[in-house]
Structure 1
Amino acid sequence: MSIDIGTVRSLLFGSGARIVVTAVCSLVVVAAGAFAAGLVGVPTLESVDNEFGEVTDDRTEIRTFLTVTNPNPIGASAAEVSAEYTVDMNGVEMARGGGSDVALEPGTSTETFTTRMQNERIPDWWVTHIRNGEETEVAIDATVSSGALGRSTDVTDRRTIETDLISQFDSDETRPINANSPATSDPVLYVNGTRANWGDVDERTTELELRFDMYNPKSYDIPVTRLGYTIYMNDIVVGEGETTSERVLRSKQVTPVDTSTHIQNQHLDDWWVTHLQKGEETDLRIEFDARVRLPVVGTTITLPLDELTYEETIETDIWGNKNENESAADETDTTPAPSERTADERTTDEDRETETEQSETDGGGERSETEDDGGILSGLPLSSVSDARVPVLGRS
């Protein structure tokens, strides 16, 4: 059987439509062969960056930016490119997301993905943070892969967050306690030192063990019938309670008074919202009061213990880019208004904007966004507050 060459030409090249189909098929075959032979590169994942977005009572938005370089002169959609990532803290998953059929333009571009963390899981992270000695490892793992080629590229980022929430409570400072009451002269007591340690922590509560070295300057013993506390984080009450076991402060002696306070972990998700709204900053405050009995006058008074109020400023930088973002904001704030610039300066700015728009049109730095539901989060460093010192009395 003979094949007529003219017939073949007619079938393949007999019309403009057939010419287009033939050319497209040829390009697909060539592209597939080039990918398979390794002549066309697999997109490379360059970096992963995160930032917090909108935060509500229930959820925290986490935006993840995957910067990918496509070394090919054409888009990578034919290679079935997909991306996925996870973010966890001490093994507690805080975000998981990604997308399939990622269409990457030639060169370097950034893909944006959004996950929404459930705030109710903040206590899960908190427990691991305290149990781990106030230390958290933030782990970010991301992968860009090609289904057509069976190849992938990974980026792993590890950083450690260390906090020091309570060490500043340790003090040998002597502080007078005044009653401001006609029932007795002031000061009624002195606190010669304070100590703090973490106690038991579980899914419900975090125990904070406190010790006060209290000196009684009076000529009579003073029973302490109640010691109360309230713990605030950005004015959110995260713990409050009291101990009612009586302690007797002997005359002219220093008596150690031990008490346990408790953070109610279920309140930490409410605190988390305020922490992010304030730019990852928290004002920690612990207030105390005591009820003492004065045997000489036969009355019981309540001491506010304002001198023992403990305050700390907690700042966190979960993603490690807080300073960069603040610097960028400062630069923006110091830019003069357009009406204050010269004509030459405005012309230069307009030229830059035109160049930026053209660069984005050419595929440089474009961002496409995909939403996904995801896991959890949180973490914390601090500064101290010092008080005026008074003479040490009755120190043993």
Structure 2
Amino acid sequence: MVTRGTALKVGAVLLLLVGAGVGAYLYQLGSDFQQPTVESVESEFGAVEGDTTEIRTRLVLDNPNDQSIPGAARLGFAVTMNGVPVADGSKGGVGLRPGRNELNVTVPLRNEQIPAWWVTHVNNDERTELVTAPSVSLPGLPVSVDLPNRTRTIETDLLGAVTSEGERTVAVGNTSVMTVSNQRASWGEATAEETPLEVRTDIENVHDYPVRLDGTAYTIEMNGVVVGNGTTDDSFVLQPGESGTFAANPVIDTPRMADWWASHVAANETTRLSVRVYGLVEQDGELERVPITVFEREAELRTDLLGEGGTEVESIDTGADEFAYEQPSLVASASGWGEVGETTTEIETEVVVNNPNDGAVGDLVSLSVAEETHINGVRAASGEGSLDGLAPGNNTLALVSEFRHDAVPEWWARHLNRGEASTVVTTTNATADIGVTRLAAPEPERTRTVSTDLLAGFNSTEPDEIRQSGQTVATITETRATWGEATAETAPIDTAVTIRNERSRFITVRDITYTVRLNDVALADNRTVDETYTISPLSTRTIEPRFLLNNSRMADWWPTHVRNGEESVMTTEVYATVETALGTRRVRLDSFSQNRTVATEFFAES
């Protein structure tokens, strides 16, 4: 067994041996040991992984000595950009053979530091001092390696590349609306949170009517990374023939520049920049896109940051300046019920859109379709869909609208108040975004009528005898029923029951109860108000009990109606207590107690 004391002694002996070895090595080098020199340093970006970007550096060192230097060297590399430290790391245990040595070290560049550098770059007129600091140290040896830092000046002109003095016509369909020209941009003061821009363009109204913008919506992308998007309050109003200069103020979200940097390195230090500013107008209290693009420019940035530091920025023609478009139109649509949920029922609609443009133009068109359905003026359903790229001729678009169950009580009340008739109006509006403008392609309203006749069976002149102890005590000679004024909460049924007393003594009718169900959804399970009806001997009297239905339960009924193929069974039960000289008896009023089938066809053309 090795004791603790033995182990300490062994460790001490090892330390003495190692120390003796180093001393012997230094002695072997002698006083004529020559300092290694650096022949070259080359760096390049490597993989982008997570929050870091690799910087791979290759150093070529010459060891002029006959002896190797085993595992004594430490390689390091650091990068600052405008004084912002972005990368730093080292690698130890590197040996040097006599003569030429190729050494490699990989250090991480922290992407999180890029936004801080970006702020300095913008505020320094797009100018950066990039300093790379390679290092080689030989700890424990009486020598050093002289390796100076390298400084490069990086200059870009991103906004100069998105400047255009040319003129572009903005048209809606075949009608020219305005021209935009002399587009330019400038930086504001960048901060850690945001980098503001100001874009300016000269505009002229060449239309016969005023042109206005109540605001703008902007998108700034770098390699598909959205570094800025939002809206501004910048606005203008141009009368026919009037011209002026319009300025908008989009903003880059500075922290997003870390994601841009990763994309830039991954694309071999190439970035596609796009700046687009669209027009907004206020409609019904909301800002909506209109067919005016006041600023639309693209550029490509190429850099060689770890090489010679060169940069190149080139403007890109988006090809959207001058196009003649013909307005797409909706030519057909058909709808049907889809999935029935707890609170909504899907309406599945297939829309056919005709695109009169050729393929090159149609590829630029994206179509957004919104559909609304109103029943008796109540907004019951809405939905939207989109289609990117329109082929010449007819294109089919599927969209889904959500039919709200909670809207049923309101439009059903109006259905009853209108004699059990409903008007169903479906409006479909399409907007074609064609780059320089958007075109409306509305479809004419589709109107349908839905009718029911729930109370038809309650109107009867067929005699209905009321018997006790084998004798007829009264006869119901006629029944009538009409709807009272319905609301989203209640739907009253006003009835009239004509009863003939067949006896020579008074009879009394009281305690009328009623139940009404639609597909087992209880709309009523109640009794009339405490009323007693007395009918004189051998005379006729008409009584008018009112039945109150809980109309809010129609929201629960609707999904059962759709699931059953737009069919429902209406079940009613009405009972009354009849008192005569022969006694008291609970009787069923057959004229009001029945089952009826209710069917609708919401999507059938009237």
TM-score class, shorter-chain normalisation, is: 0.5 to 0.7
Q: CA deviation at 1:70?
A: 0.6
Give distance in 2, aligned partners of 1:313 and 1:100. 40
Structure 2: any 5+ residue segments left out of the alignment?
1-20, 323-606
- Tell me by how many angstroms 1:245 deviates: 4.3
- Aligned equivalents of 1:170 and 1:211: distance in 2? 10
Which of 316, 334, 349 in structure 2 is aligned with 1:385? 316
Residue 303 of structure 1 pairs with residue 294 of structure 2:
no
The one of 51, 62, 69 aligned to 1:69: 62
2:102 counterpart residue number: 110
**Counterpart residue identity of residue 122, structure 1:** I
Shift of 1:221: 3.3
Structure 1 residue corresponding to 2:251, chosen from 258, 262, 265:
262
Structure 2 letter corresponding to 1:176? T
- Measure the CA separation in 2 of the matches of 1:131 and 1:301: 33
Please show how residues 202-351 of structure 1 align to structure 2 within 5 Å: 202-292=191-281, 302-305=290-293, 308-320=295-307
Tell me, yes or no, if the aligned pair for 1:177 and 1:187 is still in contact at 8 Å: yes
Equivalent residues of 2:87, 2:110 under 8 A apart? no
Structure label with greater radius of gyration = 2
Q: Aligned in 2, Cα 1:178/1:102: closer, same or farther, shift over 3 Å?
A: same
Task: State the shift of 1:101 in Å.
Answer: 4.0
Pairing of 1:37-52 with structure 2 (within 5 A): 37=31, 39-52=32-45
Aligned residue for 1:89?
81
Aligned length: 296
Partner of 1:327: none
> In structure 2, the residue corresponding to 1:115 is in which secondary structure?
strand
Within the alignment, does 1:161 sit opposite 2:154 as a pair?
A: yes
Q: Is the 8 A contact 1:44 1:144 kept in 2?
A: no
* C-alpha distance in 1 between matches for 2:156 and 2:113: 20
Q: Which residue of 2 aligns with 1:21?
A: none
Higher relative contact order (CA 8 A, sep 6+): 1
Tell me the CA shift for residue 175 of structure 1. 0.7
CA RMSD of aligned residues (A): 2.8
Retained in 2: the 8 A contact 1:138–1:158?
A: yes
CA distance in 2, matches of 1:162, 1:301: 37
Equivalent position SS for 2:304: coil
- What is the CA–CA distance in structure 1 between the aligned matches of 2:23 and 2:222, rounded to whole Å? 66
Superposition TM-score, scaled by structure 2 size: 0.45
SS at match of 1:121: helix
SS at match of 2:203: strand
Worse overlay, 237-246 or 121-130: 237-246
Distance 1:153 1:262 in 2: 46
Gaps of 5+ in 1: 1-23, 295-299, 323-378, 391-396
AA partner of residue 93 (structure 1): P
C-alpha separation in 2, matches of 1:219 and 1:267: 43
CA contact (8 A) 2:115 2:192 kept: yes
Bigger shift: residues 230-239 or 97-106: 97-106
Q: What is the CA–CA distance in structure 1 between the aligned matches of 2:185 and 2:25, rounded to whole Å?
A: 69
Once the two structures are overlaid, the 10-residue window that deviates more, 241-250 or 117-126, is 241-250
Structure-2 separation of matches of 1:164 and 1:245: 25
Residue deviations 1:16-74, cap 9 Å, x none?
Answer: xxxxxxxx999646424x2xx3x121111222221222212322122122221111111
Once the two structures are TM-superposed, the CA of residue 209 in structure 1 deviates from its matched residue by 0.6
Q: Which amino acid aligns with 2:97?
A: E
Cα contact 1:64–1:113 (8 A) shared by 2: yes
Describe how 1:188-203 pairs up with structure 2 within 5 A.
188-203=177-192
Q: Which has the higher strand share?
A: 2
- In the TM superposition, residue 227 of structure 1 has moved relative to its aligned partner by 1.6
Deviation at 1:203, TM superposition (A): 0.5
Render the CA deviation track for 1:72-131: whole Å, top value 9, x for unaligned. 1111238x4433332211111122222344310111112211222222221111111111
Q: 1:99 to 1:170 in 2, by over 3 A?
A: closer
Conserved 8 A contact 2:181-2:202: yes
- Give the Cα separation in 1 of the matches to 2:277 and 2:23: 80
Tell me the distance in 1 between the aligned counterparts of 2:145 and 2:39: 13
User: What is the CA–CA distance in structure 2 between the aligned matches of 1:279 and 1:114, rounded to whole Å?
Assistant: 18
User: Is the Cα contact below 8 Å between 1:222 and 1:292 reproduced in 2?
Assistant: no
Percentage of pairs with the same residue: 32
45, 49, 53: which one aligns with 1:56: 49
Q: What one-letter code is carried by the residue in structure 2 that aligns with 1:145?
A: S
The answer (yes or no) to whether the contact 1:239–1:264 under 8 Å persists in 2 is yes
Contact 2:44 / 2:307 at 8 angstroms: preserved in 1?
no
Distance 1:175 1:94, change over 3 A: same
* Cα displacement (A) at 1:219: 4.3
1:330 equivalent in structure 2: none
